[in-house]
Amino acid sequence: MKNTHHDIPPALIEALRNAQRVVVFTGAGVSAESGIATFRDALTGLWSRFDAQALATPQAFREHPDIVWGWYEWRRAQVLRAAPNAAHYAIAALQRHVPALTIVTQNVDDLHERAGATKVVHLHGSLHAPRCSACGAPHVVDDGPATVSSVIETHAEAHAETRAETHVGTPAGSNADTYADTHAASNADEGRRIPPPACTQCGAPVRPGVVWFGESLPSDAWSTALHAAQQCDLLFSIGTSALVYPAAELPQRALAAGATVVQVNPNATPLDAHAHCNLHGAAADIMPRVLAAAFDQRDEGLKGDQAP
Q: Which residues bind Zn ion (CB under 5 A)?
A: 132, 134-135, 137, 199, 201-202, 204
198/268 with CB nearer Zn ion = 198
206/282 with CB nearer Zn ion = 206
d(Cα 38, Cα 213) in Å, to the nearest integer?
A: 15
132/286 with CB nearer Zn ion = 132
CB of 196 to Zn ion, least distance (A): 12
120/132 with CB nearer Zn ion = 132
CB of 130 to Zn ion, least distance (A): 11
Spell out where the chain has E strands: 21-26, 100-105, 120-122, 125-132, 206-210, 234-238, 260-264, 277-279
Of 124, 128, 139, 183, which one is the catalytic site residue? 124
Position 258, amino acid: G
CB of 69 to Zn ion, least distance (A): 15
138/144 with CB nearer Zn ion = 138
Instruction: Please indicate whether residue 124 is annotated as part of the active site.
Output: yes
Nearest to 150 by CA among 195, 88, 107: 195
Under a CB-based contact definition with an 8 Å cutoff, are residues 29 and 283 in contact?
A: yes
Instruction: Return all residues near 305 (Cβ < 8 A) that are at least 6 apart.
Output: 86
CB of 77 to Zn ion, least distance (A): 24
Count of residues for the chain? 308
CB of 64 to Zn ion, least distance (A): 20
Q: Beta 260-264 vs 125-132: how paired, if at all? A: unpaired
Q: How far apart, in Å, are the Cα atoms of 159 and each of 27, 47, 59?
A: 37, 19, 32
Cis omega before residue 246 (within 30°)? yes
Which residues are tagged catalytic?
124
